[in-house]
Chains A and B, each alone.
Chain A
Amino acid sequence: MDTLLDINNLSVSFNNGQSNVTAVKSISFQIYKGEIVCLVGESGSGKSVAANSVMRLLDESKTMVIAERMSFMSKSGECLDILQLPKDKLPGLRGQEIGMIFQEPMTSLNPVIKCGDQVAEGLLIHGLESTHSVKDKVLELFKEVGLDDSKRIFDSYPHQLSGGQKQRIMIAMAMACNPSLLIADEPTTALDVTVQKKILEALKELCRNKGMAMLFISHDLNIVKQLADKILVMFKGEIVEQGSTLEVFNHPKHPYTKGLLSCRPPLKTKLRILPTLSDFIGNTEAKKLISNRLPDNNIITRQEHESAFKSLSSVEPILKIKHVTTSFTQAGMFFWNKKKVFKAIQDISFVLYPGEVLGLVGESGSGKSTLGRTICRLLDSESGSVTYRNIELANMPENEFRVFRKNIQIIFQDPYASLNPSMKAGDAILEPMIVHKLCANKQERIEKVYSLLESVGLPAESFHKYPHEFSGGQRQRISIARALSLNPEILICDESVSALDVNVQAQVLNLLNELRSKFNLSMIFITHDLSVVRFICDRVMVMKNGRLEEIGTVEQVMDNPASDYTRLLLESVPE
């Protein structure tokens, strides 16, 4: 087989004025013609940087790229030295020889140019089509990537299309000029599982049909299992393991790979404690200590869980939701009238038992976040009742509701956006206690903050640090500590682990599980990830288009789904 891309000892470092940060440390790999290679690693492991350096897309005044060899075999059979290529030759490489797809289809398309024109542009630049014939070629491309109604899409602006459609347009754009290599940088991370499955299938088929090679970047090993010929595992800027897909999955050599493979909660079995990376990496003594952490009998059987749930549900529910509907409104023609736009959730009823974790799953737009926000009154419901311990919350005036707000707390998805960057971690946890006048005096409150920091596994000195000094996982721990500071009885987790890497996700999930029994919390756990549901939830509720699709214990819903939609969701999860 012919080598298409040959990279030998590639290093990339960033210079931010004072210090040098090395993002990629002498990595080497080859991609052969028509081969699908997957580059897997956590966020910050340098995988995107490596991919961007192949296209010379990094800001060259701030980065230093060194490589012993970085050559690419062009279509005309010429061997291009990518790093030595003069700037005016770059547009010839980009698009024509190598196509690229980015993570966020929402932001990767130009909002003011029609989709068809954006795809056509590449063909016109490289002189592959004339202005007359280009439209037909684009429509043909749209059909190839599975976009029906291609004529309408040609004239649409990006905001008029769904995420999946936009990503298909990105794919059409990347392969418009028949490049011999396609680089896909986390192309499905921002999409729903069902859409993800279809996009992955489309990508694989296109590569096979056209004999295109692909470098597929992902943080999720499970996605790439069906896709890859070869897997590269990247950790802290280095490739720690590379081999064929079968080899890597069946006989992982590096402890990091082993960790990645087992950190993700399994879809079919319920575990007591999730393994984390530290169970695999680290010195042997620590490993001994930790491996004692994982119980020998780590799997919770169906009978065991169902009997545990029976005792949970034998008491009076803590929260009763009856026929709740919430609509979004938009300002009308005059400032005093409001137009109803659409019902985000319709006629939802369920109960939550004390100490129970109820999963709320559905695709984006299914109304699961709206439901969470309606319960804690961040949004007002239009009709229906929310009863907390026999107290009706839905129509209570705001000033009376404030007393109850501390009993229902919410943790948001993005730990980067939900902490005030100018507030120290300790003060962020302290603030709600001051607002709700908890504890007798300042000293007691501060002591409570320290004990909370300890229970979420953060060192005491975190009190005086600012959010930017923490990693994503640590920030989410701060958010959890802040929510717990008010001794809530109900915790709503809105996609609280979705933005985290698998390893960190496993740590936070273990933490939530621990805290749940420690503080006897009831949780509503909003997520799109069914594996997470299996691990942490007792019951699960499936939502679709604002309506309740199915509700039952995790075992009932996930092992014997009653609705077709649940079945579709389950089938779309990559294994």
Chain B
Amino acid sequence: MFSQLIYKLMYSIVVLLMVIITVSSIIYLAPVDPTRLSFGQMADAGTIEKKKERLGLDKPLPVQLMYYINDISPISIYRTSELSELPVTKSALSLSSTHSLVLKMPYLRESFQSGRKVSELIGEALPKTLILAFASLLFALLIGIPLGIICALNRDKMADRAIIAFSTLGVSLPSYIPAIMFAVFFGYVWSSLTGLDVQGSIIELNDLGNEEIRIRNLILPVLALGIRPVAMITQLSRSAFLDVMNQEYIKTAKAKGVRLVSLLYRHALPNASITIISASSGWLATLIAGSYFVESIFNFKGIGDLTISSLTSFDIPVILGTLITVCIFFIIINLVVDMLYTKVDPRIKVN
């Protein structure tokens, strides 16, 4: 079990490295000049050159890339003279008179726009996104699986057909459409009834200028974000339960005198969940991709919102920082799913 985890972690690091190289190459190669974006069309060449030099954008692309990877790697090499400028916790080992080997926290650089540290920006945004994602995940599972069971038990009857029709609609709607519709109807037209706002994050400044947690701002984003995963899980668990309920061991359990509720809960669910878990990369990806739109629409200041706003100003360190964060998030989820898999299905040997 433990060696398995180590092996998977090593694999994940390779994947992460590939992602960083690919994504940062694309971003650095893009024909966009971040300095132009920050000064506008009217800036004189001298100012722009100066800014470029300061940001290191005047160097050849491979060199820029090398420097970036050196910055984000926990083990890196720096000029000893530059060490004091590195704003992260570190311990250095002198290699030669000019260079040092540094063991440090990954340094994600500073935002071109605000000048704040990218790690700080992500640190503020990530918890909000995590709360949104897990709330939507829970919502999707708690609604999707029971709906799937209802469908499977009433196969081809009215209830089944109605639910399937709605879930087909849910799967085919991109998540920004329900997001906009919910925002308009529940946040604006019927806001006197629902008491919800069109936009808002989970942490907002109140009239006195203090930070305040507003759980209700989670409701609409979770609904909008959860709709597609709910629909997908409904269809997945419907077919999983239809399959499982026809298995011989369900007949055995019936012949033993097991009643319907424990038949579903004890005998069918664990087996059906194998199918749902194995398809999880599909619906989890939907969830994350949807969060970009949903956060942007509701002005829910999470990772998605941060990515979109950094893209519009081509704030390279923030773009890369958020993408790497999402990538790590996915890798962790995949690790958890793999572990869960061996937990649910004893036939999969941990080897």
List residues of chain A with CB under 8 Å of any chain B CB.
Answer: 55, 57, 90-96, 99-100, 102, 104, 107-113, 121-122, 125-126, 157, 159, 170, 173-174, 177, 333
Q: When chains A and B are docked, how far (Å) is the Cα of A125 from the Cα of B253?
A: 11
Which A residues lie within 8 Å of B259 (CB)? 91, 125
Query: Which listed residue, A96, A112, A170, A174, touches B345 by the CB 8 Å rule?
Result: A112
Contact of A125 with B257 in the complex, beta carbons under 8 Å: yes
Decide if B255 touches A91 in the complex (CB within 8 Å): no
> Which residues of B228-278 have CB atoms within 8 Å of chain A's CB atoms?
247-249, 251-259, 262, 266-267, 270-271, 274
Which one of A96, A109, A157 lies within 8 Å of B257 (CB-CB)? Answer: A96
A91 to B256, CA, bound (A): 7
B252 contacts A157, CB within 8 Å? no
In the complex the two chains form, is B251's CB within 8 Å of A113's CB?
no
* Nearest-neighbor residue (CB-CB) of B267 within chain A: A110
Contact in complex: A94, B267 (CB < 8 Å) = no
Q: How far is the CB of A126 from chain B (nearest CB, A)?
A: 6
12 chain-A/chain-B pairs, Cβ below 8 angstroms? A94-B257, A99-B255, A102-B248, A110-B249, A110-B267, A111-B249, A111-B346, A111-B347, A112-B344, A113-B270, A122-B256, A173-B256
Task: Beyond A100-B255, A110-B252, A111-B249, list 11 extra A-B contacts (CB 8 Å).
Answer: A55-B254, A57-B255, A93-B257, A102-B248, A104-B248, A108-B249, A108-B251, A108-B252, A110-B249, A110-B267, A122-B257
Chain A residues with Cβ under 8 A from B2's Cβ?
A: none
Determine the main DSSP class of B at the interface with A.
helix
CB distance from A146 to the nearest CB of B (A): 20
Chain A: minimal CB distance from B228 (Å): 29
| Distance in angstroms between the alpha carbons of A198 and B271 in the assembled complex | 32
B345 touches A111 (CB 8 A): yes
In the complex, chain B residues whose CB is within 8 Å of the CB of A113 = 266-267, 270
CB distance from B347 to the nearest CB of A (A): 5
A168 CB to closest chain B CB, in angstroms?
A: 14
Q: Which listed residue, A104, A121, A157, A333, touches B346 by the CB 8 Å rule?
A: A157
Contact A94 B7 (CB under 8 A): no
Cross-chain contact A110 with B258 (CB below 8 angstroms) = no
List residues of chain B with CB within 8 A of the CB of A170: 252
Contact status of A107 and B256, CB under 8 A, knowing A157-B347, A159-B347? no
**B340 CB, nearest partner CB in chain A, Å:** 13
Give the chain A neighbours of B266 by CB distance below 8 A.
113, 121
Residue of A whose beta carbon sits closest to that of B271: A112
Contact indicator B271/A57 (Cβ below 8 Å):
no
Chain A residues whose C-beta falls within 8 Å of the C-beta of B270 in the assembled complex: 112-113
Which 7 pairs from chain A and chain B are nearest by CB? A95-B257, A91-B257, A100-B255, A94-B257, A107-B248, A157-B346, A110-B249
Q: Which A residues are CB-close (under 8 A) to B347?
A: 111, 157, 159
Residues on B lying within 8 angstroms of A by beta carbon are: 7, 247-249, 251-259, 262, 266-267, 270-271, 274, 344-347
The answer to whether A107 and B257 have CB atoms under 8 Å apart is no
- Which residue of A92, A93, A104, A110 is within 8 Å of B253 (Cβ)? A110
Which chain B residues lie closer than 8 Å to A109 at the CB level? 249, 252
A57: B residues at CB distance < 8 A: 251, 254-255
List A contacts of B7 (CB < 8 A): 333
Residue of A nearest to B263 (CB): A91
The chain A residue sitting closest to B345, CB to CB, is A112
Alpha-carbon distance A90/B271, docked complex (angstroms):
25
**Residue of A with least CB distance to B250:** A110
- A126-B249 in contact (CB<8A): no
Residues of B contacting A112 in the complex (Cβ-Cβ under 8 angstroms): 270-271, 274, 344-346
CB distance from A336 to the nearest CB of B (A): 15
CA distance A191 to B259 in the complex (A): 30
Closest-by-CB residue of B relative to A88 is B259
- Given A57-B254, A92-B257, A110-B271, A159:B249 Cβ within 8 A: no
Most-contacted residue by chain B among A95, A112, A173 (CB, 10 A)? A112
**A95 contact set on B, CB distance < 8 A:** 255-257
CA distance A110 to B247 in the complex (A): 9
Nearest A-chain residue to B347, judged by Cβ? A159
Instruction: From B248, B251, B256, B345, give the contact of A121 (CB < 8 A).
Output: B256
Docked CA distance A55–B258 (Å):
13
Contacts of A99 in B (CB 8 A): 255
B138 to chain A minimum Cβ distance, whole angstroms, is 23
Q: Residue on B with the closest CB to A106?
A: B248
A104 partner residues in chain B, CB cutoff 8 A: 248
Closest CB in chain B relative to A179 CB, distance in Å: 10
Q: Once the chains are docked, how many angstroms separate the CA of A121 from the CA of B253?
A: 9
Interchain CB contact under 8 A, A125 and B256: yes
Query: What is the chain A residue whose CB lies nearest that of B344?
Result: A112
| B257 engages A159 (CB within 8 Å) | no
Contact B256 A55 (CB under 8 A): no
Residues of A within 8 Å of B345, CB to CB, are 111-112
* CB-based nearest B residue for A177: B257
CA distance A95 to B266 in the complex (A): 17
Q: Which residue of chain B has its CB nearest to the CB of A105?
A: B248
Contact of B257 with A126 in the complex, beta carbons under 8 Å: yes
Q: Considering residues B248, B344, B345, B347, which has the most beta carbons from chain A within 10 angstroms of its beta carbon?
A: B248
CB contacts (< 8 Å) of A157 on chain B: these are 346-347
CB distance from B342 to the nearest CB of A (A): 12
> Which residue from B247, B254, B344, B346 sits with its C-beta under 8 Å from A94?
B254
Chain A residue with Cβ nearest B258: A125
Using Cβ atoms and an 8 Å threshold, which residues of chain A touch B254? 55, 57, 94
CB of A94 within 8 A of CB of B256, answer: yes
Taken together as a complex, chains A and B put the C-alpha atoms of A107 and B270 apart, in Å, by 15
**Which residues of B have CB within 8 Å of A125?**
256-259, 262
CB distance from B344 to the nearest CB of A (A): 7
| Residue picked from B248, B255, B262, B346, most chain A C-beta under 10 Å | B255
Instruction: List residues of chain A with CB within 8 A of the CB of B257.
Output: 90-96, 122, 125-126, 177
Q: Give the CA-CA distance A269 to B273 in the complex, in Å.
A: 54
- Give, as a whole number of angstroms, the nearest-CB distance from B227 to chain A: 30
- Complex Cα gap A535–B176 (Å): 72
CA A409 to CA B61, docked complex, whole Å: 62
User: Which residue of B has the minimal Cβ distance to A170?
Assistant: B252
Check if B248 sits within 8 Å of A108, measured CB to CB.
yes
CB distance from B161 to the nearest CB of A (A): 16
Please determine whether A107 and B346 come into contact, CB atoms closer than 8 angstroms.
no
Give Cα A273–Cα B259 distance, bound, in whole angstroms: 53
Shortest CB-to-CB span from A227 to chain B, Å, is: 21
Tell me the bound Cα distance from A415 to B258 in angstroms: 36
Whether A91 pairs with B258 at a CB distance below 8 angstroms is yes
Nearest chain B CB to A99's CB is how many angstroms away?
A: 7
Known interface pairs A110-B267, A112-B344. Does A173 touch B251 (Cβ–Cβ under 8 Å)?
no
Interface pair B256/A102, CB less than 8 Å apart: no
Complexed CA–CA distance, A94 and B346 (Å): 28
CB-CB under 8 A from B344, the residues of chain A are 112
Report how far A147 CA is from B349 CA in the complex, Å: 25
The minimal Cβ–Cβ distance linking B345 to chain A, given in whole angstroms, is 6
Residues of chain A lying within 8 A (CB to CB) of residue B249: 107-111
Query: When chains A and B are docked, how far (Å) is the Cα of A125 from the Cα of B347?
Result: 27
Q: Which of B253, B262, B270 has the most CB of A within 10 A?
A: B253
Question: CA A110 – CA B253 in complex, angstroms?
Answer: 9
Q: Which residues of A contact B258 (CB under 8 A)?
A: 91, 121, 125
Residues of A within 8 A of B267 (CB): 110, 113
By beta carbon, the residue of chain A nearest B155 is: A61
In the bound assembly, the distance between CA atoms of A57 and B7 in angstroms comes to 47
A98 to B251, CA, bound (A): 14
Cβ–Cβ < 8 Å partners of A174 in chain B: 255
C-alpha spacing A55/B255, complex, angstroms: 7
Bound form: Cα–Cα A177–B248 in Å: 21
**Chain B, residue nearest A97 (CB):** B257
What residue of chain B has the Cβ atom nearest to residue A174's Cβ?
B255
- CB contacts (< 8 Å) of A94 on chain B: these are 254-257
What chain A residues lie within 8 Å of B247 (beta carbons)?
A: 107
User: In the assembled complex, how far is the CB of residue A12 from the closest CB belonging to chain B, in whole angstroms?
Assistant: 16
Distance in angstroms between the alpha carbons of A104 and B252 in the assembled complex? 11
Closest to A112 in B: B270
| Closest Cβ–Cβ distance, residue A60 to chain B (whole Å) | 12
B4 nearest in chain A by CB position: A333
